[in-house]
A and B are shown apart, each in its own frame.
Chain A
Amino acid sequence: MPRKPTGHSSRLLPVRPLTFSPFARSVARVATAYMVKHHARDAMQHSAGDEFKKLKKVERQSESSEDEEFDGVVQADFAFFDPKPDDFHGLKTLLQSYLDNKEWDLSGFVNLILEQTTVGTVVKLEDDEENGVFSIITALNLERYKDHKCITELKEFLLSICLEKDKIGNLRSLLGDKAHDVGLLVSQRVVNLPPELLPHLYDALFDEIAWATEDEPTEELRNSFWFKFYIVVSKIYKHKNASQKRSSSTDEGDAFIYVKPEEEILHKLSMWSFLFPLQTQQVAAHELKNYQLNGIVMAVKAEDISSFRQQLHTLINES
């Protein structure tokens, strides 16, 4: 099929939020039909100084479908970069609601992520003058940064919102005496980011962590990347009637709908997790009217990560 070179357009296809449950998948299928081709290019570059780690070309061609508001090809070249100081404002916007509506040192947190260039990836468009940040993924060692105000505030927040008595002990130990082995996995993106990028994004992160354990200049830094546990703070939709017995009707849907597809896998693999209520008002889409947005905190063992990576590849490649 002939491709029209439309140049780099930063307007992406308006895809409905891709949430992963059979119910949401059928909704997404009905809404838009599209064909995706992707080419993975270039081997990963090893040295930390290089900007380009992987280039992913994602093309979306829209077939004629029911809700077509436009036609034609939207070509978007996503590129993975090391975090740079210029990305400050984009990152800050992405992480605005990371800790719900708590007032905390968000700028300090963003600075931490930007300073850690050895581990962490920012997804941007290639040659984009506006420097828009589409996604960030990184892992921060809780012990290494424990003196930073943002990390202390984050720990306080997590401990204060944990209402489940049996989990709070685990949380306290991970944030306290085991902090040296714990990485805070921060992964945030714009809602309509193509899911084909996700396996590569996570691969990039875990590979960088592995390389950092060898390449970092000091032994202390090398050891700080030997994570045994990862903590993930995110948001999921929980069915409002989840605690009641589900009726036999299949329209009830799943108990949870995951905004980020990989979190379904992480949730299953997690050692423990707990939900917390969000204070910010949420606007519910029609399909999600039976669901309530909750925050979730999960702890995952580092040993389970390779299984996670495999499952993520399968999940994305089959859909």
Chain B
Amino acid sequence: MATRLQFENSCEVGVFSKLTNAYCLVAIGGSENFYSAFESELADVIPVVKTSISGTRIIGRLCAGNKNGLLVPHNTTDQELQHLRNSLPDQVVVQRIDEKLSALGNCIACNDHVALTHTDLDKETEEIITDVLGVEVFRQTIAGNILVGSYCAFSNRGGLVHPHTSVEDLDELSTLLQVPLVAGTINRGSEVIAAGMTVNDWTAFCGSDTTATELSVIESVFKLREAQPTAIVDEMRKSLIDSYV
């Protein structure tokens, strides 16, 4: 299910939050409404952690992560790092990396298997991404933009990319990522997809300016319509062999 919400009159939900299959990070400040919107959807399933990164609230754009790990920029304070390590599940590795492109959320887009990165990322950073996040890394551009983390959002089930992405690029990316992709907008025509929304395998949060059309595109490409955490298993049940007669 896709939910519409706002952070303090701003519809850029993906800037102030980071959602993965194993945890959810939310910025401090803002009203309790923002936090409780996440809590009500996710409370029983994954931890919702309030945090800041480097004293700022733009955590969604500064960090990158998936169910295996979380990468934070070099200017994250020790207290913040400790807080994250304490609050997140044990299997999630939190790593602070020294990368001059410190807005990791803008430079890296990933799901649990594949990551797309900024073309100028350090080789060392690429190796850390492969180790910590357990993904295959591809350096790509999206519609000519090098900030891949800003202009696309994808989960293990589907992805939404910049509206001006050509059909060839769309096919190429779809092959790399192995998920269906669609070019579209968020928040009533905004091209900065990842700033306007955040998504995991069963739920998505979009800015409140998102039109009904945009929302239905999101629900269909990310396959959120009947999605519950257990639905994934139910779907697979038919193909699971229970017993041989």
Contact = CB atoms under 8 A, between A and B. Distances in A.
Interface of A: 88-89, 96, 101, 103-104, 106-107
Contacts of B189: 88-89
Interface in B31-86: 31, 33
18 contacts: A88-B188, A88-B189, A89-B188, A89-B189, A89-B190, A96-B9, A101-B8, A101-B9, A103-B6, A103-B8, A103-B9, A103-B31, A103-B33, A104-B9, A106-B9, A107-B11, A107-B208, A107-B209
B52 to A, nearest CB: 17
Given A88-B189, A89-B188, A89-B189, 12 more contacts: A88-B188, A89-B190, A96-B9, A101-B8, A103-B8, A103-B9, A103-B31, A103-B33, A104-B9, A107-B11, A107-B208, A107-B209
Contacts of B9: 96, 101, 103-104, 106
- 4 tightest A-B CB contacts, nearest first: A107-B209, A103-B9, A106-B9, A103-B8
B207 to A, nearest CB: 10
Interface residues of B, number: 11
A104 B10 CA distance: 11
A300 B31 CA distance: 35
Residue in B9, B31, B209 whose Cβ sees the most chain A Cβ within 10 Å: B9
Contacts of A88: 188-189
A106 B31 CA distance: 16
A103 B9 CA distance: 6
Contacts of B188: 88-89
Contacts of B31: 103
Nearest to A110: B209
Contacts of B190: 89
Interface in B8-31: 8-9, 11, 31
Contacts of B33: 103
A191 to B, nearest CB: 20
Nearest to B208: A107
Contacts of A107: 11, 208-209
Contacts of B8: 101, 103
Nearest to B207: A107
A284 to B, nearest CB: 22
- Max count, chain B CB within 10 A of own CB: residue among A89, A96, A104: A89
Nearest to B188: A88
Nearest to B11: A107
A88 B188 CA distance: 9
A104 B9 CA distance: 7
A104 B208 CA distance: 12
Interface string B207-231: 0110000000000000000000000
A107 B8 CA distance: 13
Nearest to B10: A96
A89 B190 CA distance: 9
Nearest to B30: A103
Nearest to A99: B9
Interface in B170-201: 188-190
Contacts of B209: 107
Nearest to B31: A103
A30 to B, nearest CB: 37
A290 B113 CA distance: 57
A267 to B, nearest CB: 28
A103 to B, nearest CB: 6
A61 B6 CA distance: 44
Interface string B126-160: 00000000000000000000000000000000000
Candidate in A88, A89, A101, A103 with the most chain B CB atoms within 10 angstroms:
A103
A96 B9 CA distance: 8
A68 to B, nearest CB: 34
A64 to B, nearest CB: 40
Interface in B102-125: none
A103 B11 CA distance: 12
A243 B33 CA distance: 40
B16 to A, nearest CB: 14
A42 to B, nearest CB: 32
B208 to A, nearest CB: 7
Contacts of B11: 107
Contacts of A103: 6, 8-9, 31, 33
Contacts of A101: 8-9
Contacts of B6: 103
A200 B52 CA distance: 47
Contacts of A96: 9
A278 B82 CA distance: 36
A154 to B, nearest CB: 13
Nearest to B7: A103
A89 B208 CA distance: 13
A79 B208 CA distance: 31
A106 B208 CA distance: 11
Contacts of A106: 9
A89 B10 CA distance: 12
B161 to A, nearest CB: 20
A101 B8 CA distance: 8
A96 B8 CA distance: 10
A106 B209 CA distance: 10
